Amino acid sequence: MPENSVQMKRRLKILFLCTGNSCRSQMAEGWARHLKADTIEPYSAGIETHGLNPNAVLVMAEAGVDISRHRSKLVEELKNVAFDHVITVCDNAHESCPLFPGKTRVVHVGFDDPPRLAQQANTEEEALGIYRRVRDEIRAFIEKLPEALNG
């Protein structure tokens, strides 16, 4: 079939929103770019900026996803993007989520906070295990997109 007769489906614009845009939302954006680039145009932002978490970068790299060039950004920096969905990945962002214009649908899918849980770890390896678990949980969710948003 000629290329011009194939209608390209528009990718969904999805914002992964977290408090500081340092860990969970960054991992979600990374997984979405890695696994769903054909169907999702992913973004991440926070209601504050906390910098990019080095342990999140490390465990994502272990899984073959480079997020080292990402940066922590505020949701206001993306105000000109018309999102189809905003997915809050932490309770604080869900509770403090700004209003989005138009038909943007806000969905909450909470994940544990690796930096907070890692504070209780006895070793660096135990701390990284927490990051890896959350990384894998986020991946499992991203693998179900965009169908998971229809439920």
- Assess if residue 5 is contained within a domain: no
Find the mean pLDDT for residues 42-66.
96
Query: How many structural domains compose the chain?
Result: 1
- Assess if residue 1 is contained within a domain: no
Cite the beta strand spans of 19-150 per DSSP E. Answer: 40-46, 85-88, 105-108
pTM for the full predicted model: 0.90
Query: Could you give the residue numbers annotated as active site?
Result: 18, 90, 97
Position 5 scores a pLDDT of 36
Q: Pull the structure tokens for residue 89.
A: 């990945």
Residue 59 domain boundaries: 11-150
Q: How far apart are CA 108 and CA 98, in angstroms?
A: 13
Residues 6+ apart with CB under 8 A from 64: 34
- Assess if residue 49 is contained within a domain: yes
- Assess if residue 72 is contained within a domain: yes
Q: How far apart are CA 44 and CA 63, in angstroms?
A: 19
pLDDT in tens, 74-133: 999 999 999 999 999 988 766 777 777 678 898 999 999 999 999 999 999 999 999 999
**CATH code at position 22:** 3.40.50.2300
Q: Pull the structure tokens for residue 125.
A: 């390896």
